[in-house]
Amino acid sequence: MKKVTIDEIELILSNATDVPVQWVGQAEALRQLLACWITVDPRDLPLTPRIIGYPGTGKTTLGIAAARERRQDVYIMQCTSDTRPEDLLVTPVLSEKGKISYHASPLLSAAISGGIAILDEGNRMSEKSWASLAGLFDNRRMVESVVAGIVINAHKEFRAAVTMNEDSSTFEIPDYIMSRLQPGIEPGFPSREDELKILEYNLPFSAEEVLDLCVNFLQKAHGLDLPYSIRDGINAIRYTLKQRETSPDADTGALFENALQQILGKEALDLDSLAAKRKASGDTLPGMGLGDFFFPDNDDLNPDNPGIT
Ligand SMILES: Nc1ncnc2c1ncn2[C@@H]1O[C@H](COP(=O)(O)OP(=O)(O)O)[C@@H](O)[C@H]1O
Ligand SMILES: [Mg+2]
């Protein structure tokens, strides 16, 4: 357990993560992230970018891999809608002897020890929590823990990135925070060649036939802009390989389809229709408001009734 003392307050630091990861292919995203973290002059400051994309597209992996490339410790701070400002900084813990000890979050531990913090799924966090970090991510590079009553200046080598999912279950992050989390980096969907390499790297024991089936599926989905990801592919391959063990006579193609259906739903078996359906619903369905779930469209009580202004 690493401890540091700041203004006579002893802080217990979080542990760095030690998951071994490697970034495969998609070199442009890695280059962009590493560029954000360099300084070109003693007066320059690093940037704190957002890594954006659908779930399962490698955002967290990219952050960890880039930190490893810089040979710095990496601290993962998982953000949720329940993350409170003190969770992001210092949490007081009452010990058995009735003494309070102060635990530094992974984010603060990175800032103190000169590591790299990945704020994972930052879009889930409320404005109140983000507000407490404003000074850490601008030229002040400092943050105040109200709980511990101390001000912490970030180490010169401290770097950070925030991952954000492109889905709807999230808070709107206010502009003054967004302006501190720039630029946006999008790993996007990999090319066929990179996708095969990524799957091979993650599943080196897989039969080539199954890898090929999976790359064909994923590439077709990417071409139609459907949000199926490497993670979905990895799950489908794993399940197919397991089923091959228990049903050795079954056709591998059929097992893979079966895996897709059980993991992603029946609609994943006909990507063209799914893409057409999504397009049609996106283009033609009128927006629904909360009121539409409780009242008929034309009900005067429905606040989303177009007749009410
Ligand atoms: N370029 C890549 N190199 C290596 N692994 C990758 C790459 N892209 C995605 N993956 C793999 O895909 C899976 C999902 O990645 P993850 O970083 O958890 O996605 P996200 O954070 O976007 O939800 C992981 O198993 C990861 O190893
Ligand atoms: Mg992630």
Residue for token pair 């109140």: 128
Task: Write down the domain spans for the chain.
Answer: 3-185, 192-279
**Over its length of 309 residues, how does the chain's per-residue pLDDT go in tens digits?**
899 999 999 999 999 999 989 999 999 999 999 999 999 999 999 999 999 999 999 999 999 999 999 999 999 999 999 999 999 999 999 988 889 999 999 999 999 999 999 999 999 999 999 999 999 999 999 999 999 999 999 999 999 999 999 765 567 788 999 999 999 999 999 999 999 999 999 999 999 999 999 999 999 999 999 999 999 999 999 999 999 999 999 999 999 999 999 999 999 999 999 999 999 987 444 444 444 444 444 455 555 444 433
Give me ligand 2 centre to Cα 268, in Å: 22
> Which among 31, 32, 16 has a CA at the least distance from the CA of 72?
16
Q: 294: Cβ below 6 Å to ligand 1?
A: no
Asked whether the beta carbons of 255 and 244 are under 8 A apart, the reply is yes
Pocket test for ligand 1, best of 231, 234, 237, 263 (most atoms within 8 A of CB): 231
The kind and range of the H/E element at 6 are strand 3-6
Give me ligand 1 centre to Cα 158, in Å: 24
Task: From the options 3.40.50.300, 3.40.50.1820, 3.40.50.2300, 3.40.228.10, give the CATH code of 3-185.
Answer: 3.40.50.300
C-alpha torsion angle, residues 226, 179, 163, 14 (rounded to 10): -170
Ligand nearest to the CA of 61: 1
Phi-psi region of 142 (alpha: psi -120 to 50; beta: other; left: phi over 0): beta
